[in-house]
Amino acid sequence: MKRRTTSILAPPRRRSFLKTVAGLLCVPAVPLIARYRILDELTGTAHAEDLLAQEPTYFVELNLRDQFDFMHAFVPPGIATYDGLRRGDRGNRCVLFHDASALTQHRGNVFLTPDSQALVPHLDQIAVMELNEVCNGEIHGHEAAGPVRSPGRQKTQTAGKAAMWTSEPGYQFQGNDHHYSSTPTPASLHNRLQKELTPGVRNGVAMKFISRNHHVCHFGAGDARAELDRIQTRDTLFQRFPDTVQDLNALGSAEEAALLTRAIRRVDDDFFDRYGLSQAARTHHEATLDEAVGRLYSADNNKVVSLPLTPEEVEYWSTGVPDQVGSAIKAQIWEALAWTEKLLTHGLTRSVAIDWDYLDVHDTRGPEVLSTMAQQFAIPLARLIQRLKDAGIYEQTVIAVFSADGGRAPAANSYGNTGKNSLVLCGKNVRGGYYGDVGVAGPDGDGHRYDYHVPDPQTGVLRPPVTNNDRLEGAYAWRTVMKALGTPDSTLEAYPDVAGFHALDFMLTS
């Protein structure tokens, strides 16, 4: 039997040695397979897996409103191969404006259009599943919460569920709704877990760059450590991460930070009873002060990276990407992804959420709408993936793209409370492919009726088609995202609305 190298060391030295090795192997430049082999040589397979599970992961959550349609990015096989498709920009006609000869077919039932060819080099780790539970917002499905991002969210408050919108600045009901939940949204949960894994890692951010007064809720499920820092403008992003050596430390030492927060905690002690605030508010505040200790002083506070893009970076990221439609532009999507790449590859944070939108389009959706959406999504995403690969951290990264408030049916006049609700999953542990299907059920006026082939959550085999809104519960997709990140099942089972569900393992490699 092969003797593991570390077995010759005494236990205390072995532990110290392994910690040192694990730290060195966390350097992004070391490929994952090399890390596994080195650890396997030193420790044996089981221990190698345990150590790798303690590796940091990076997560990008891209939330696309309003009822984003990926038809020109990933064409459902049933639509791509249908002979006699009635295409058009209104009524029940299908909004696929490239004919079959322009589509390219790839392994895993993936059909791309000319608008999404940039994704070809990365398809082996891009999984698409659009048959998720549809949204239930009052205005034809629009909502800021979503059943996939927070399974079990509901419109009434029951025991254990909290309001999801209270941490979203300037939140209004119109187009967003009020939902309550006990399930954290993915980036929020990842944020908390990474800070537990690596104390001192900087808090994640949510770039709230939707051009209208619409929102996406980022929900920590009552855990203050999970809450992302909301960034509402590009200027505040640059302030949050300055490009000069500014002293972001509010205090002079970690000891001073601890003393001050301890004093504030004592002064604040009576506040909650005096003003009738709940125990949850007290707990949340105490967690906030705990975290503030590391913010008031930290050596990492002065880590500098230049977030504003150079002309070369603008050229790289923006070429071929249509501008955001609308009048109140906060940032282009390629800018948001460029800043995300810098934040992740420079170790400034590990969890980034981006809220972005294509305007809400009704009644008629022409080729320019679908092509613009696809190009805005596919081209910057491909560039982000490439940059993460170049930096050596793609194998530790998961990118999850959500049609945040529902998607559309293939019909031009469809809304987001019917049809598709999409998840595009990229990166670590992801098995590329298009899962589920959308097809043509028959003629309907000048267009078609469409049907939906929901995959069996156990096997991925397509169920008999339906024309109603029966879809996979959002908990399946949620657990798939978290499993791709390597989150232990024991952590996820703590949330009642996802307990008992499992990941869609056919979308994952492990």
Least Å distance, CB 473 to another protein, is 13
Applying CB under 8 A, does 162 fall inside the site for another protein? yes
Least distance from another protein to the Cβ atom of residue 178, Å: 5
DSSP-derived 3-state class of residue 352: strand
Interface residue with another protein among 183, 371, 372, 417 (CB under 8 A) is 417
Given the complex with another protein, which of 99 and 235 has the nearer CB atom?
Answer: 235
Smallest distance, another protein to C-beta of residue 504, A = 22
Looking at residues 62 to 121 of the shown chain, list those that interact with another protein (rule: CB under 8 A): none
Residue 471 burial (C-beta neighbours within 10 Å; 0-12, 13-18, 19+): buried
Rounded alpha-carbon distances, angstroms, from residue 325 to 187, 279, 315, 444, 472? 26, 44, 20, 31, 32
- Contact between 139 and another protein by CB under 8 A: the answer reads yes
Cα–Cα dist 429/403, whole Å: 21
Task: Select from 170, 199, 200, 500 the one that contacts another protein (CB under 8 A).
Answer: 170
Q: How far apart are CA 171 and CA 497, in angstroms?
A: 25
Minimum separation from the CB atom of position 174 to another protein (A): 5
Taking the least distance from each CB to another protein, the nearer of 6 and 183 is 183
Question: Which one of 29-37, 364-372, 376-384, 415-423 is the stretch in contact with another protein (CB under 8 A)?
Answer: 415-423
Lookup: tokens for 341: 């790449």
Would you tell me the crossing angle of helices 367-390 and 333-345 to the nearest 10 degrees? 10
Nearest to 486 by CA among 17, 181, 25, 32: 32
From 20, 117, 233, 509, residue interacting with another protein (rule: CB under 8 A) = 233
CB 461, min distance to another protein, A:
25
Q: Which stretch binds another protein (CB under 8 A): 82-90, 292-300, 302-310, 482-490?
A: 292-300
Q: Which stretch binds another protein (CB under 8 A): 7-15, 87-95, 253-261, 473-481?
A: 253-261
Does residue 232 interact with another protein by CB under 8 A? yes
Among 86, 87, 90, 285, binds another protein (CB under 8 A): 285
Show contacts with another protein in window 447-476 (CB under 8 A): 469
Q: What is the DSSP letter of 8?
A: G
16 binds another protein (CB under 8 A): no
Question: Which residues partner with 38 through β-bridges?
Answer: none
Residue 199 near another protein by CB under 8 A: no
Rg (CA), the chain: 23
Quick one: 24 or 264, whose CB is closer to another protein?
Answer: 264
Task: State which H helix or E strand residue 229 sits in.
Answer: strand 229-231
- Contact assessment for residue 496 and residue 152, using Cβ atoms and an 8 Å cutoff: yes
Closer of 226 and 321 to another protein (Cβ): 226
Choose one: 6-14, 88-96, 161-169, 379-387; the region binding another protein (CB under 8 A): 161-169
Q: Which tokens is 508 given?
A: 């994952």
Binds another protein by CB under 8 A, chosen from 212, 303, 389, 463: 212
Q: Is 45 in the site for another protein (CB under 8 A)?
A: no
Q: How far is the CB of 3 from another protein (least distance, A)?
A: 48
Of 155, 390, 446, 489, which one interacts with another protein (CB under 8 A)?
155
CA distance 299 to 364: 54
In the complex with another protein, which residue's Cβ is closer, 167 or 306? 167
With the C-alpha atoms ordered 386, 387, 392, 396, is the resulting torsion angle positive or negative?
Answer: negative
Of residues 324-383, which lie at the interface with another protein (CB under 8 A)? 328, 330, 360, 362-363
The residues near 482 (Cβ < 8 Å, ≥ 6 apart) are 186, 189, 190, 491, 492, 503
Residue 134 binds another protein (CB under 8 A) = yes
Asked if 158 touches another protein (CB under 8 A), the answer is: yes
Contact 471, 407 (CB under 8 A): no
- Asked if residue 244 binds another protein (CB under 8 A), the reply is no
Instruction: Pick between residue 57 and residue 417 the one whose CB is nearest to another protein.
Output: 417
- Applying CB under 8 A, among 296, 400, 401, 504 the residue interacting with another protein is 296
Applying CB under 8 A, the span of 29-37, 57-65, 173-181, 456-464 interacting with another protein comes to: 173-181
Token pair for 85: 């498709």
Main-chain phi, psi angles of 53, to 5 degrees: -65, -20
Q: DSSP string spanning 419-488? A: S-B-EEEEETTBPPEEESEEEEEEEETTEEEEEEEPBPTTT-PBPPPBSSS--B-HHHHHHHHHHHTT--
**Binding test (CB under 8 A) with another protein, winner from 54, 166, 467, 510:** 166
CA distances from 38 to 41, 46, 197, 372 (A): 5, 13, 22, 46
Residue 70 sits at the vertex; the CA angle it makes with 69 and 76, to the nearest 5 degrees, is 115
Please report how close the Cβ of residue 63 comes to another protein at its closest, in angstroms.
16
Selected range binding another protein among 19-27, 68-76, 84-92, 249-257, rule: CB under 8 A: 249-257
